[in-house]
Amino acid sequence: MTKTTKIIAAFLLLFLTGCGYHNPYVADSDSRPITLSRPLWVNNTGEMGLESTMDQSLSGWLRKSKLIHLVDNPAQAQYELTGALLDINYPEISYGNHLLANELRANLRVSFSIIDHNNKKDKKNGKAVWTQKNRTFTETLSMSTNPITLQANKKEALAKITNDIAEAIYLHIINHIMRLQKAD
C-alpha cells in the first residue's frame, strides 16, 4: 500500500465515522430507561399457544433497547402494555385447478394499549398513551392437502404476524420515549 493510498483510506475512514449518523433506536449514554410491564395477552382466537408466541415476540423486541426495562409487577412500572388477540380467520385468496385454494391469508385481529402510570398517586388509573382497537395484521400462507403441512404453514404465518405486531409496538414505544426525553 502506498503512502497516498494510506492517507486516502485514513481520510475516508475519518469522514465515514464522523459524518454524524445517529441510530435513533439506540440509547444515548445519558438516556433514562423506562420501566414497562406486559401481562400475558388474552387469547380469544382458539389458536392454542398464540398468546405465548405473542409474548415471546414482544420479549424479543422489547429487550433490544437499553431504553426499556421490563418488570413483572405492574405496580413498579411506569408503563403497562396490555393486549388481546381477538380473532383469526383464513380466507382463501388464490385458486388453482378445479377451483381448489392455493393460498390462504391469515388475518389476526388484535387490540392493545400502552397505559402511562407516571405522575399518578393511584397507579391503577393510568392514562392510555396509545391504543389500537380492532387492528388486523395479515400474512399469506400456502394451502396444503396435508393437515400437518397446513398447520405448520399457519404456525409460521402467525409467528410472522406476532413479530410484526411486536416490532410496531417496539418502534412506537422507542419513538415515544425519545419524544419524552427531548421534552425534558
Digitized pLDDT (tens) for each residue of the chain, 184 residues in all: 678 888 887 777 666 665 555 555 555 555 678 899 999 999 999 899 999 999 999 999 999 988 899 999 888 899 999 999 999 998 877 666 665 667 888 999 999 999 988 765 544 567 888 899 999 999 998 888 888 998 999 999 999 999 999 999 999 998 887 776 566 5
CA distance 53 to 72: 18
> Does 128 fall in a domain?
yes
| Segments forming the whole domain that contains residue 169 | 29-183
> Does 13 fall in a domain?
no
pLDDT for the residue 57 = 96
> Does 92 fall in a domain?
yes
Q: What is the CA radius of gyration of the chain?
A: 22
pLDDT for the residue 17 = 66
Q: What are phi and psi of 61, to 5 degrees?
A: -75, -45
pLDDT for the residue 91 = 85
CATH for 155: 3.30.160.150
> Does 19 fall in a domain?
no
Strands 127-142 and 68-70, by their bridges, are unpaired
Q: Exposed, middle or buried, 77 (CB in 10 Å: 0-12/13-18/19+)?
A: buried
CA distance 42 to 55: 11
C-alpha distances out from residue 99 to 89, 104, 115, 150, Å: 20, 13, 47, 18
Total structural domains within the chain: 1
pTM of the predicted protein model: 0.77
